Amino acid sequence: MLLGQRSRAFWRLLMAVIACGWAMAALVAPSLQAEVVRPPAVNAKAAVVYDATARTWLYDKRGDQPMYPASTTKLMTAILLVQHLRPDDPVYISEAASRQPRVRLGLRPGTELRAEDALLALLMKSANDVAYGIAETIGGSQEGFARMMNVEARLIGCTNTRFVTPNGLHADAHATSAKDIALITAKAITYPRIVRAMQTPQATIAGKAVRNGNRLLYSPPAAIGEFIGGKTGFTSRAMYCLATAVKRPSDGHVLISVVFGAPRKSLMYRETIRLLTWANRLSPSAPR
Protein backbone atom coordinates (compact mmCIF):
# COMPACT_ATOMS: atom_id res chain seq x y z
CA MET A 1 0.00 0.00 0.00
CA LEU A 2 2.77 2.42 1.00
CA LEU A 3 4.73 1.48 -2.13
CA GLY A 4 1.71 2.24 -4.33
CA GLN A 5 1.23 5.63 -2.71
CA ARG A 6 4.90 6.50 -3.26
CA SER A 7 4.64 5.40 -6.90
CA ARG A 8 1.58 7.56 -7.50
CA ALA A 9 3.27 10.52 -5.79
CA PHE A 10 6.36 10.06 -7.95
CA TRP A 11 4.33 10.06 -11.16
CA ARG A 12 2.33 13.11 -10.07
CA LEU A 13 5.59 14.95 -9.36
CA LEU A 14 7.06 13.87 -12.69
CA MET A 15 3.99 15.04 -14.62
CA ALA A 16 4.08 18.37 -12.77
CA VAL A 17 7.73 18.86 -13.75
CA ILE A 18 6.96 18.00 -17.38
CA ALA A 19 3.99 20.38 -17.43
CA CYS A 20 6.15 23.12 -15.94
CA GLY A 21 8.78 22.47 -18.59
CA TRP A 22 6.19 22.75 -21.36
CA ALA A 23 4.93 26.02 -19.90
CA MET A 24 8.45 27.45 -19.73
CA ALA A 25 9.15 26.34 -23.30
CA ALA A 26 5.98 28.04 -24.47
CA LEU A 27 7.13 31.27 -22.84
CA VAL A 28 10.71 31.11 -24.09
CA ALA A 29 10.07 29.89 -27.64
CA PRO A 30 8.55 33.14 -28.97
CA SER A 31 11.53 35.17 -27.77
CA LEU A 32 13.95 32.72 -29.37
CA GLN A 33 11.98 32.84 -32.59
CA ALA A 34 12.07 36.62 -32.47
CA GLU A 35 15.87 36.55 -32.27
CA VAL A 36 16.36 34.19 -35.22
CA VAL A 37 15.53 36.53 -38.08
CA ARG A 38 16.36 35.41 -41.58
CA PRO A 39 18.34 37.96 -43.62
CA PRO A 40 16.55 39.33 -46.69
CA ALA A 41 17.31 38.25 -50.24
CA VAL A 42 19.12 41.04 -52.10
CA ASN A 43 19.17 41.51 -55.88
CA ALA A 44 21.89 44.16 -55.97
CA LYS A 45 25.33 43.00 -57.09
CA ALA A 46 26.80 43.58 -53.63
CA ALA A 47 25.47 44.57 -50.23
CA VAL A 48 26.67 44.76 -46.64
CA VAL A 49 25.39 45.83 -43.24
CA TYR A 50 28.04 46.95 -40.76
CA ASP A 51 27.59 47.52 -37.04
CA ALA A 52 30.01 50.42 -36.70
CA THR A 53 29.66 50.48 -32.91
CA ALA A 54 30.53 46.81 -32.40
CA ARG A 55 32.75 46.74 -35.53
CA THR A 56 31.06 43.60 -36.82
CA TRP A 57 29.61 42.65 -40.18
CA LEU A 58 25.96 41.65 -39.94
CA TYR A 59 25.35 40.99 -43.64
CA ASP A 60 27.77 40.35 -46.48
CA LYS A 61 27.00 39.71 -50.13
CA ARG A 62 30.18 40.07 -52.21
CA GLY A 63 31.30 42.71 -49.76
CA ASP A 64 34.99 42.44 -50.65
CA GLN A 65 34.50 42.51 -54.44
CA PRO A 66 35.94 45.68 -56.05
CA MET A 67 33.20 47.47 -58.01
CA TYR A 68 32.47 50.87 -59.48
CA PRO A 69 31.11 53.04 -56.63
CA ALA A 70 29.68 55.99 -58.61
CA SER A 71 29.02 59.03 -56.39
CA THR A 72 29.43 57.20 -53.10
CA THR A 73 33.04 58.20 -53.89
CA LYS A 74 32.09 61.70 -52.75
CA LEU A 75 32.04 60.50 -49.14
CA MET A 76 35.83 60.37 -49.27
CA THR A 77 35.96 63.77 -50.98
CA ALA A 78 33.83 65.15 -48.15
CA ILE A 79 36.16 63.66 -45.52
CA LEU A 80 39.20 65.35 -47.06
CA LEU A 81 37.33 68.64 -47.38
CA VAL A 82 36.49 68.82 -43.66
CA GLN A 83 40.01 67.69 -42.76
CA HIS A 84 41.71 70.38 -44.85
CA LEU A 85 39.31 73.33 -45.22
CA ARG A 86 37.55 75.53 -42.68
CA PRO A 87 33.92 76.43 -43.43
CA ASP A 88 34.77 79.88 -44.87
CA ASP A 89 37.82 78.79 -46.87
CA PRO A 90 37.42 79.21 -50.65
CA VAL A 91 36.97 76.40 -53.17
CA TYR A 92 37.95 77.41 -56.71
CA ILE A 93 36.10 76.29 -59.84
CA SER A 94 38.51 75.97 -62.76
CA GLU A 95 37.78 75.58 -66.46
CA ALA A 96 38.28 71.81 -66.10
CA ALA A 97 35.94 71.69 -63.11
CA SER A 98 33.23 73.62 -64.96
CA ARG A 99 33.33 71.10 -67.82
CA GLN A 100 32.54 68.07 -65.67
CA PRO A 101 29.50 66.09 -66.85
CA ARG A 102 26.16 66.16 -65.11
CA VAL A 103 25.14 66.19 -62.35
CA ARG A 104 26.68 69.61 -61.72
CA LEU A 105 25.87 72.88 -60.04
CA GLY A 106 26.66 74.73 -63.27
CA LEU A 107 29.28 77.17 -62.02
CA ARG A 108 31.39 79.32 -64.32
CA PRO A 109 35.20 79.12 -64.36
CA GLY A 110 36.68 81.47 -61.78
CA THR A 111 33.80 81.06 -59.34
CA GLU A 112 34.73 80.76 -55.67
CA LEU A 113 32.56 78.89 -53.17
CA ARG A 114 32.76 78.77 -49.40
CA ALA A 115 33.98 75.33 -48.38
CA GLU A 116 30.75 74.78 -46.42
CA ASP A 117 28.66 75.55 -49.50
CA ALA A 118 30.88 73.23 -51.53
CA LEU A 119 30.22 70.49 -48.97
CA LEU A 120 26.46 71.03 -49.30
CA ALA A 121 26.66 70.94 -53.10
CA LEU A 122 28.77 67.79 -52.93
CA LEU A 123 26.48 65.79 -50.64
CA MET A 124 23.05 67.25 -51.44
CA LYS A 125 23.31 67.84 -55.20
CA SER A 126 26.15 65.37 -55.86
CA ALA A 127 27.70 68.10 -58.00
CA ASN A 128 30.55 66.76 -60.13
CA ASP A 129 31.94 70.21 -60.94
CA VAL A 130 32.16 71.08 -57.24
CA ALA A 131 33.83 67.74 -56.43
CA TYR A 132 36.48 68.48 -59.07
CA GLY A 133 36.96 71.99 -57.68
CA ILE A 134 37.44 70.58 -54.19
CA ALA A 135 40.05 68.16 -55.54
CA GLU A 136 42.03 70.90 -57.29
CA THR A 137 41.78 73.27 -54.32
CA ILE A 138 43.05 70.70 -51.81
CA GLY A 139 45.25 68.43 -53.90
CA GLY A 140 46.43 70.80 -56.63
CA SER A 141 45.08 68.44 -59.30
CA GLN A 142 42.75 65.49 -59.67
CA GLU A 143 45.75 63.17 -59.60
CA GLY A 144 47.18 64.73 -56.46
CA PHE A 145 43.83 64.55 -54.72
CA ALA A 146 43.38 60.91 -55.74
CA ARG A 147 46.65 60.09 -54.00
CA MET A 148 45.34 61.76 -50.85
CA MET A 149 42.08 59.81 -51.14
CA ASN A 150 43.94 56.52 -51.36
CA VAL A 151 46.19 57.32 -48.40
CA GLU A 152 43.13 58.17 -46.29
CA ALA A 153 41.39 54.99 -47.46
CA ARG A 154 44.30 52.90 -46.20
CA LEU A 155 44.27 54.74 -42.87
CA ILE A 156 40.56 53.97 -42.51
CA GLY A 157 41.24 50.29 -43.13
CA CYS A 158 40.12 49.87 -46.74
CA THR A 159 41.73 46.94 -48.54
CA ASN A 160 40.00 46.88 -51.93
CA THR A 161 39.98 50.54 -52.90
CA ARG A 162 41.67 52.56 -55.61
CA PHE A 163 40.29 56.03 -56.20
CA VAL A 164 41.06 57.87 -59.44
CA THR A 165 38.40 60.61 -59.55
CA PRO A 166 36.95 62.81 -56.78
CA ASN A 167 33.37 62.46 -58.04
CA GLY A 168 33.01 58.80 -59.01
CA LEU A 169 32.56 59.40 -62.73
CA HIS A 170 33.60 56.27 -64.56
CA ALA A 171 37.26 55.34 -64.86
CA ASP A 172 38.26 51.73 -65.42
CA ALA A 173 40.75 51.76 -62.54
CA HIS A 174 38.42 53.56 -60.11
CA ALA A 175 36.93 50.92 -57.81
CA THR A 176 36.16 50.05 -54.23
CA SER A 177 34.12 47.46 -52.36
CA ALA A 178 30.87 47.63 -50.42
CA LYS A 179 32.77 46.88 -47.21
CA ASP A 180 35.26 49.66 -47.86
CA ILE A 181 32.50 52.18 -48.56
CA ALA A 182 30.85 51.12 -45.29
CA LEU A 183 34.11 51.89 -43.45
CA ILE A 184 34.39 55.23 -45.27
CA THR A 185 30.78 56.06 -44.34
CA ALA A 186 31.52 55.21 -40.71
CA LYS A 187 34.44 57.65 -40.81
CA ALA A 188 32.44 60.34 -42.61
CA ILE A 189 29.67 60.48 -40.02
CA THR A 190 32.16 61.17 -37.24
CA TYR A 191 32.36 64.72 -38.67
CA PRO A 192 29.38 66.89 -37.61
CA ARG A 193 29.83 69.10 -40.70
CA ILE A 194 29.27 66.11 -42.97
CA VAL A 195 26.23 64.89 -41.02
CA ARG A 196 24.68 68.39 -41.12
CA ALA A 197 25.15 68.50 -44.89
CA MET A 198 23.64 65.03 -45.32
CA GLN A 199 20.63 66.07 -43.24
CA THR A 200 20.02 69.40 -45.00
CA PRO A 201 16.90 69.09 -47.19
CA GLN A 202 17.37 72.28 -49.23
CA ALA A 203 19.74 75.19 -49.57
CA THR A 204 20.69 78.07 -51.84
CA ILE A 205 24.26 77.81 -53.15
CA ALA A 206 25.78 80.46 -55.44
CA GLY A 207 22.25 81.71 -56.10
CA LYS A 208 21.01 78.25 -57.09
CA ALA A 209 18.29 76.35 -55.24
CA VAL A 210 19.51 72.89 -54.28
CA ARG A 211 17.43 70.02 -52.93
CA ASN A 212 18.89 66.93 -51.27
CA GLY A 213 18.60 63.96 -53.61
CA ASN A 214 18.50 61.26 -50.92
CA ARG A 215 14.87 60.13 -50.57
CA LEU A 216 15.46 58.52 -47.19
CA LEU A 217 16.03 61.96 -45.68
CA TYR A 218 12.41 63.03 -46.18
CA SER A 219 10.41 60.10 -44.82
CA PRO A 220 12.67 57.37 -43.43
CA PRO A 221 10.64 54.33 -42.33
CA ALA A 222 10.69 53.98 -38.55
CA ALA A 223 11.72 50.34 -38.94
CA ILE A 224 15.18 51.26 -40.26
CA GLY A 225 16.11 53.25 -37.15
CA GLU A 226 17.11 56.89 -36.72
CA PHE A 227 18.43 58.26 -40.03
CA ILE A 228 21.92 59.76 -39.73
CA GLY A 229 22.85 60.29 -43.36
CA GLY A 230 24.06 58.70 -46.53
CA LYS A 231 25.10 59.12 -50.14
CA THR A 232 23.52 58.02 -53.38
CA GLY A 233 25.32 57.17 -56.61
CA PHE A 234 24.67 56.21 -60.22
CA THR A 235 26.55 55.65 -63.44
CA SER A 236 25.60 53.35 -66.30
CA ARG A 237 28.48 51.03 -65.32
CA ALA A 238 28.05 51.16 -61.54
CA MET A 239 24.23 51.20 -61.67
CA TYR A 240 22.45 52.41 -58.53
CA CYS A 241 24.46 52.61 -55.30
CA LEU A 242 23.55 53.80 -51.82
CA ALA A 243 25.38 54.07 -48.50
CA THR A 244 23.17 54.73 -45.46
CA ALA A 245 23.89 55.22 -41.76
CA VAL A 246 21.24 54.86 -39.04
CA LYS A 247 21.10 54.49 -35.26
CA ARG A 248 19.42 51.34 -33.94
CA PRO A 249 16.86 52.37 -31.27
CA SER A 250 17.22 49.23 -29.14
CA ASP A 251 20.87 49.80 -28.20
CA GLY A 252 22.05 52.99 -29.93
CA HIS A 253 24.41 51.11 -32.25
CA VAL A 254 25.27 52.81 -35.54
CA LEU A 255 24.40 50.56 -38.48
CA ILE A 256 25.63 51.19 -42.00
CA SER A 257 24.21 49.57 -45.10
CA VAL A 258 25.76 49.70 -48.56
CA VAL A 259 24.04 48.53 -51.72
CA PHE A 260 26.04 48.41 -54.96
CA GLY A 261 24.79 47.68 -58.46
CA ALA A 262 21.02 47.77 -58.00
CA PRO A 263 19.36 47.73 -61.44
CA ARG A 264 16.74 50.35 -60.50
CA LYS A 265 16.65 53.33 -58.15
CA SER A 266 13.47 52.07 -56.49
CA LEU A 267 15.11 48.70 -55.83
CA MET A 268 18.18 50.42 -54.35
CA TYR A 269 15.96 52.08 -51.75
CA ARG A 270 13.78 49.00 -51.14
CA GLU A 271 16.76 46.74 -50.52
CA THR A 272 18.38 49.30 -48.22
CA ILE A 273 15.15 49.48 -46.20
CA ARG A 274 14.88 45.67 -46.07
CA LEU A 275 18.47 45.28 -44.88
CA LEU A 276 18.23 47.93 -42.18
CA THR A 277 14.81 46.74 -41.02
CA TRP A 278 16.27 43.25 -40.64
CA ALA A 279 19.37 44.55 -38.84
CA ASN A 280 17.24 46.57 -36.43
CA ARG A 281 15.38 43.41 -35.39
CA LEU A 282 18.62 41.72 -34.36
CA SER A 283 19.81 41.80 -30.79
CA PRO A 284 23.60 42.08 -30.35
CA SER A 285 23.80 38.33 -29.60
CA ALA A 286 21.26 37.19 -32.20
CA PRO A 287 22.27 34.54 -34.74
CA ARG A 288 23.31 35.94 -38.12
Alpha carbons 41 and 36: distance in angstroms, whole number:
16
Q: Beta strand 239-247 with 226-235: parallel, antiparallel or unpaired?
A: antiparallel
Asked if residue 231 belongs to a known ligand binding site, the reply is: yes
**What distance, in Å, lies between the first and last C-alpha atoms of the chain?**
57
CA gap 147, 37 in Å, rounded: 42
71 is known as an active-site residue: yes
**61 catalytic per annotation:** no
Number of other residues whose CB lies within 10 A of the CB of residue 185:
27
Instruction: Indicate if the alpha-carbon torsion angle 84, 88, 94, 100 is positive or negative.
Output: positive
Point out the catalytic residue in the list 71, 98, 177, 257: 71
Is the omega angle on the peptide bond into residue 103 within 30 degrees of 0, that is, cis?
yes
Residue in 45, 125, 126, 187 annotated catalytic: 126
74 is catalytic: yes
* 3-state class (DSSP) for residue 60: strand
Q: Which residues contact 78 (CB under 8 A, 6 or more apart)?
A: 119, 122, 123, 188, 191, 194, 197
H/E stretch holding 90: strand 90-92
Alpha helices in 99-141 (DSSP H): 115-120, 128-139
- Which member of 45, 74, 179, 187 is catalytic? 74
Q: Which residues are known binding-site members?
A: 231
Q: Which residues are known binding-site members for substrate?
A: 231
Residues marked active site are found at 71, 74, 126
